[in-house]
Amino acid sequence: MGRSENIPLEIQKGYARATEALQLDDRLEDAHAALGAIRVSPKDPIAWAQYFMLGTARWNYDLRNPADGTQDALDQACSYSNCEFFVYMIAAKFHVRFGDITVARRYLERALAKKKDLSLKMWRTFFPFRAWPAMIAETEPELETFVSFGLPRE
């Protein structure tokens, strides 16, 4: 089933927009928007996006020391088979960082399966938002691990 029939589409869209804003905000207490969106429409086919935005908002809050729950939110996003390749990439980064190489490799394989032309070069410039270069710079050690797992450089 798609979006909940009991919740007006305008409210669902409002939660989605509030969650997107989280990625640019440094107040983690606003993360309730993502959780609210998930509660409002738990079977939404793009619920993975709410978890992804919650995870990246927590990561962006402090690139070196992400807020608690960052990896959990990203893993939850990855549990949806229709999530986008970039969700797997960012989740893989955290699994490399925290030493779970098996899961990191599996997520990278899923990303490569979804995005056949994925490369290190593409990934470094994939997102056009302002915080992306800093997020990529913070990820450099993990990126070399991805290359050792099979991510093409070019």
Q: Print burial letters for 63-78: b (CB count within 10 Å at least 16), e (below 16).
A: eeebbeebbebbbbbb
pLDDT digits (tens, 9 = 90+) for 22-74: 555 555 555 556 666 677 776 777 788 888 888 887 777 666 666 677 889 99
Position 7 scores a pLDDT of 47
Position 2 scores a pLDDT of 42
**Token pair for 105:** 């490799």
